[in-house]
Chains A and B, each alone.
Chain A
């Protein structure tokens, strides 16, 4: 039973980290990007490539993966968000990020191959450690640190406060002289780096696999919707709840029904509390 608990928390931490990346992008642009899960996938695939194929030490490989993720996040803003938001059609950003996500996923599939490849060990540790194995504790620890750092960033730094101001009211922030376009690009870069970090830390759990991106986009979104859009605490709680539910349902009724169970949780929460557990109620436009 303890094994199921730890596995669930580890995979839930990855979902929660993806939900955090969603939140960072949502705060400055009010856009839920389909590429979010693919940012984590890039972290895992490039991490494996740097360490296994190029033979780098894990530390420079980590920073290089973060740079790749940040670049991919920034590219999302430049290609799929900037022009589309300027034209202000409600649905277009969904189409453009979906297109970009498809391109990234299929590009990686062509270059890296469609088979999952093993992710290297990051810390020297025996394979006999059981539940104390790094593949469980790395994603959990990383996600907690990530959430704490984001909270500090939002409360203590000027840029963090600008993010908060933009998420409250982008027009007012702009009228006050905030460079909203530059801030949005920065937030996408940060989200990319966070996603890549999560994918790198959880690489031993998910393997370096091109299809992880789509799964994470869906499950990270479910964690976010369950916890409440825009809330970082909600992202953590939603991710943990989803991961635990997945692990226990896999243990009790078999692993074939993962998506069905996840979507069941999403529908249940949306029926009972549409704004999510920690979300703020949206005002209906009239």
Chain B
């Protein structure tokens, strides 16, 4: 049955090749920019997906970690003129460290408390960015350097981000399909039962949260160098909501769903002008519709429709009675 497992593999390789050659067939620079933006958001969402989609911890404040990564990169690579590569790694590390500091107290809290703690974290970061004007440029913002050759051009920058995004996706996929991911899903569905079968609940939650902090830091650094200028207005709380909506709409507990959700939700307001005016209201409406109508996410909806159109063939096994053994058994019953 190797054919069935090869087909999605071939599909994803095909998509990857198509994405990698995008700079040569894209219509204009703007489409490349949009694709790079999707890659940046996906790097963050891939990590957040492990926390929200698999672990069931509703973090709505990851925009705070994104801002930390972005400002770390801008300050280290821009003002202190570090090599962008080292600054990129430092941004990821700092994101992970802040994830640890945020996760240590807040991951012990029950659902709503945790969501509020992450929201408060996002607001605190926004507040500090404005308050520490000497470091962050305050309301004026900071300019951010790009990466050296050959990643200087928009196409090169896009390919760099695509590479990192692919790597992160591969890591997330590995986490998801091995016992690690199963344990996370167990924590999401029933923490008490998970603990009773020996899953170290708090340690698992903290580990994925720190990992999501690292990806958020990386995404922040890449996003900042993509934008080449950042201000506090870039990292509003609504952006954190956007990441969250991408995962919920794509479907919890899958990787392809949130990936599609990120791509569609990033591109849609750019392509359909009236939606851009509605902005966050549109995301709110979409989230409400999904939660009320298909809480498993739109990915599940496609599955259901697909099964309606092309019902899965379920072979009904026919049981033939083994006459000889049956007769022998009956004889054995009669003997004593």
A contact residues vs B (CB 8 Å cutoff): 32, 79-80, 83-84, 87, 89-92, 94-96, 98-103, 106-107, 110, 214, 218, 221-222, 225, 254, 256-260, 262-263, 266-267, 270-271, 285-286
Contact = CB atoms under 8 A, between A and B. Distances in A.
A95 B287 contact: yes
Given A100-B288, A103-B285, A257-B131, A87 B295 contact: yes
Contact of B115 (A94, A257, A285): A94
Interface residues of B, number: 37
Contacts of A260: 124, 127-128
A152 to B, nearest CB: 29
B35 interface: no
B109 A270 contact: yes
A92 B117 CA distance: 18
B283 interface: yes
Nearest to A101: B284
B104 to A, nearest CB: 10
B248 interface: yes
Main secondary structure of the interface of B (DSSP, over half): helix
Main secondary structure of the interface of A (DSSP, over half): helix
B237 A89 contact: no
A106 B292 contact: no
Nearest to B126: A259
Q: Closest 10 CB pairs between A and B?
A: A102-B284, A256-B131, A106-B281, A99-B288, A99-B287, A103-B284, A263-B120, A259-B123, A32-B112, A95-B291
Contacts of A259: 120, 123-124, 127
Contacts of B163: none
B179 interface: no
B112 A94 contact: yes
Contacts of B116: 218, 221-222
A96 B120 contact: no
Nearest to B191: A285
Contacts of B124: 259-260, 263
B130 interface: yes
Interface of B: 56, 58, 60, 105, 109, 111-113, 115-117, 119-121, 123-124, 127-128, 130-131, 192, 237-238, 241, 248, 278-281, 283-285, 287-288, 291-292, 295
Contact of A218 (B109, B123, B238, B285): B123
Nearest to A256: B131
A91 B111 contact: yes
A257 to B, nearest CB: 6
B58 A91 contact: yes
A218 B58 contact: no
Contacts of B121: 263
Contacts of A271: 105
A102 B111 contact: no
A257 B123 CA distance: 10
Give the residue among A101, A106, A256, A270 with the most B Cβ atoms within 10 A.
A106
23 contacts: A79-B292, A80-B288, A84-B292, A94-B112, A96-B288, A96-B292, A98-B60, A99-B287, A99-B291, A102-B280, A102-B283, A102-B287, A103-B288, A106-B278, A225-B113, A256-B127, A256-B130, A257-B127, A257-B131, A260-B124, A260-B127, A263-B120, A286-B192
